[in-house]
Amino acid sequence: DTAVSQTPKYLVTQMGNDKSIKCEQNLGHDTMYWYKQDSKKFLKIMFSYNNKELIINETVPNRFSPKSPDKAHLNLHINSLELGDSAVYFCASSPGLAGEDTQYFGPGTRLTVL
Amino acid sequence: QKEVEQDPGPLSVPEGAIVSLNCTYSNSAFQYFMWYRQYSRKGPELLMYTYSSGNKEDGRFTAQVDKSSKYISLFIRDSQPSDSATYLCAMSAWGGKLIFGQGTELSVKP
């Protein structure tokens, strides 16, 4: 019973390629997020969606485009991949946007750009 | 200067030791304070949550928040090898936007 799942788990690709990461949650939550964790373990929010509406859009290059087809799914498409995009990308979900709402993280997608 | 500062360690302690992990922050609007634990090659999981100032205890774990000093702590009593992980502090001023510290890598040696 995986609560937040991501595919693929590992992604190795060449510079300049376009790739997508998919996320699904079966917790019935309204809010989903994308985070990036760099090689120094620094975890930074990229986007959040609440009921399919974009709420947070941090200063992320516009090569990154999130898409939420429904409340249970949040995908991340990355165009023209660069070396600096290599990181672990985590999807998370929470019941809503209340400050006390716990965010549940997926297992991560380890992206390596060669 | 980062909004949340956390010593990345690594921190190595013997089994049974008391561990103290700390974060400082600069944004006085933060009201929600969390500690997440992240095992190697896994996603972070919530360990402790505190609203505003004060202490909270859960088993061997105690979280403290001192808003006047902009300082939060996590204490682990009787540390176990299974506590070996990276501990990330996180905080927010409003729901949804969590700001994380860099994480402290903890190793508890048997």
Q: What is the pLDDT of residues B7-52, one digit of tens each?
A: 888 999 999 999 999 999 999 999 999 999 999 999 999 999 998 8
CA angle A66, A71, A74 (to 5 degrees): 25
pLDDT for residue B65: 96
pLDDT for residue B110: 95
Test mutation, A4, A6, A41, chain B, max B CBs within 10 A: A41
**Tokens 């929010």 correspond to what residue?**
A45
Predicted confidence (pLDDT) at residue B1 exceeds the cutoff of 80: no
Side-chain half-sphere of A22: how many Cα atoms within 13 Å? Answer: 7
Query: B43, A99: Cβ pair inside 8 Å?
Result: no
Residue in A closest to B89 by C-alpha = A43
pLDDT for residue A4: 97
% of chain A beyond a pLDDT of 90:
83
Q: Mapping DSSP to helix (H, G, I), strand (E, B) and coil, where does residue A57 land?
A: strand
Q: Using H for helix, E for strand and C for coil, what is the string for chain B?
A: CCCEEECCCCEEEECCCCEEEEEEECCCCCCEEEEEEECCCCCCEEEEEEECCEEEEECCEEEEEECCCCEEEEEECCCCHHHCEEEEEEEECCCCCCEECCCEEEEEEC
- Average pLDDT over chain A reads 94
% of chain B beyond a pLDDT of 90:
85
Count helices and strands in chain A by DSSP H and E runs: 0, 11
**Mean pLDDT of the region B94-107:** 90
Predicted confidence band of residue A109 (pLDDT cuts 50, 70, 90): very high
Of residues A45, A96, A108, nearest to B43 (C-beta): A108
Alpha helical stretches, state H, chain A? none
| Span A42-86, pLDDT tens digits | 999 999 999 989 998 887 899 999 999 999 999 999 999 999 999
Of the candidates B6, B45, B40, the one whose C-alpha atom is nearest the C-alpha of residue A42 is B6
Of residues A40, A99, A105, nearest to B44 (C-beta): A105
